[in-house]
Chain A
Amino acid sequence: MSYRRPYRGTQPEYLFPPYASTVKRAPSQPLVVLPHTLSELTAPVFGYGEVKPGDSDLTKQHKGEPQGERIVVSGRVLDENSRPLPNLLIEIWQANAAGRYNHRVDQHDAPLDPNFTGAGRILTDAEGRYRFMTIRPGEYPWRNHYNAWRPAHIHFSLFGQAIVQRLITQMYFPGDPLLEYDPMFTCVPDVKARNRLVSTFDWETTMPEFALGYRFDIVLRGRDATPMETRR
């Protein structure tokens, strides 16, 4: 048994010079192809004792309401074989509405919000669904190149049922004009794959007179249908 290798172009390479931080951090030696053993085919399990129901509402972690536009971010986590992945830990983090992270490294001259930390977590339900209530994050400048700005995004970290399914990614917002200039977005050669990182506006989860809904489905690697094959 093993997990499918990624389709060509759907994952970034380690070295992508337009994103300057890759230059000194990407491995320079060839990677060694590892057959999947029990060590790769297993993964830790997380429980309800660790993740509390309120952890998925980023607008209710302080005394007051955070500044900004409330949004609902929801979706499903599936594997490549369309199998929903239940009871799986998702961790998210993001900037506040002004585009400032609650982190000592972030020196962007935009206000911190005392009512917003920007961290959430949840376990997927039996159908692989998750739902966060949060604030639409702001865009912010960074020093990668002249006049560089990151499009609005939310960081997602996911554990799968196997270590090889572990995924950290970013969710973007539809129609963001900054996307085409962002090397973190354009590092993905396959344009369709890139665009799957953009959430879609969702009437179904939009709460009348309260919050817009955005849908973001996530697909983790699936088991290979032909387990004995060693195609590369």
Chain B
Amino acid sequence: MSLRGSTSQTIGPYLRIGLEWMVIEDLAPQGVAGERVRIEGKVVDGDGKPVNDAAVEIWQANSHGKYASPEDSQDKPVEPAFRGYGRSLTDDAGSFRFRTLKPGRVPGPDGKPQAPHLTVTIFMRGLLKQLQTRMYFPDDTANADDAVLKLVPAERRATLVAKKRGDGVLEWNVVLQGKNETVFFDT
């Protein structure tokens, strides 16, 4: 028998009560292989105002391109200390932050390796269901051939790619509406 999926509802303004116990902004303990990266960003609404009640969750492969999930059957090295899941709750400035590793490449829809990316899921008051997006890494030559990026209108692709700041931090902002609106995916 086939059931129908339960309906999504907003996370509401009081998400911290339920989700704060598992904030994970530092994903990569010492000894896990890979290039360390710091990511910082802001979530802003259609008026450019910071969103101070969002949950930003990331999911990524390890530096070998392997997910810490039983659903990933690839024959690649696992990193037992790296789960690849992060959760940041935005502060009054709408900011979120992660310290993690640049992921390796995983197979794409065309069978070819995808460019390194994070899968990003965003919840907040005023969102009746989550937003799904991706963050790609700046100056990665693989971005030009990425099958998913190619699905995105060329003039909007830049919204999915972080920018490297002078201090080395990767800055990636989420714009919910309007000019420079971040690309969100229908998954």
How far, in Å, is B56 (CB) from chain A's closest CB? 13
Task: Tell me the complex Cα distance, A218–B4, Å.
Answer: 10
Q: Are A32 and B186 in contact (CB under 8 A)?
A: yes
Of the candidate stretches B33-41, B121-129, B164-172, the one touching chain A is B121-129
Size bracket, chain B contacts: 35 or more
Task: Tell me the complex Cα distance, A93–B10, Å.
Answer: 13
Q: Are A44 and B83 in contact (CB under 8 A)?
A: yes
Known contacts being A28-B177, A29-B181, A92-B18, is A194 close to B127, with CB within 8 Å? no
Residues of A within 8 A of B185 (CB): 31-34
* B106 part of interface (Cβ distance < 8 Å): yes
Q: Are B14 and A103 in contact (CB under 8 A)?
A: yes
Question: Which A residue's beta carbon lies closest to that of B125?
Answer: A21
Size bracket, chain A contacts: 35 or more
For window 131-164 of A, CB contacts with B under 8 Å fall at: 155, 157, 161-164
Q: Are B127 and A11 in contact (CB under 8 A)?
A: no
Task: Tell me the complex Cα distance, A197–B177, Å.
Answer: 29
Task: Tell me the complex Cα distance, A162–B13, Å.
Answer: 26
* A91 part of interface (Cβ distance < 8 Å): yes
Cβ-neighbour of B11 out of A37, A101, A102, A168 (below 8 A): A168
* A193 part of interface (Cβ distance < 8 Å): yes
* A208 part of interface (Cβ distance < 8 Å): no
How would you classify the secondary structure of chain A's contact residues: helix, strand, loop or mixed? loop
Task: Tell me the complex Cα distance, A84–B7, Å.
Answer: 18
Q: Are A32 and B46 in contact (CB under 8 A)?
A: no
Q: Mark B117-154, 1 if CB is under 8 A from A, else 0.
A: 10101011111111110100000000000001001100
Question: Which A residue's beta carbon lies closest to that of B128?
Answer: A12
How far, in Å, is A99 (CB) from chain B's closest CB? 12
Q: Are A161 and B2 in contact (CB under 8 A)?
A: no
Known contacts being A26-B176, A37-B109, A167-B8, is A91 close to B19, with CB within 8 Å? yes
How far, in Å, is A23 (CB) from chain B's closest CB? 8
Q: Are A43 and B59 in contact (CB under 8 A)?
A: yes
* B15 part of interface (Cβ distance < 8 Å): yes
Cβ-neighbour of B151 out of A34, A45, A118 (below 8 A): A34
Of the candidate stretches A65-73, A75-83, A122-130, A173-181, the one touching chain B is A75-83
7 closest cross-chain pairs (CB), A and B: A93-B18, A21-B126, A42-B69, A44-B85, A25-B126, A12-B128, A34-B185
Report 16 cross-chain contacts, Cβ distance below 8 Å, ordered by A residue: A11-B7, A19-B10, A21-B126, A24-B126, A28-B46, A32-B184, A34-B187, A39-B59, A43-B69, A78-B3, A80-B5, A95-B14, A155-B15, A166-B57, A187-B128, A218-B6
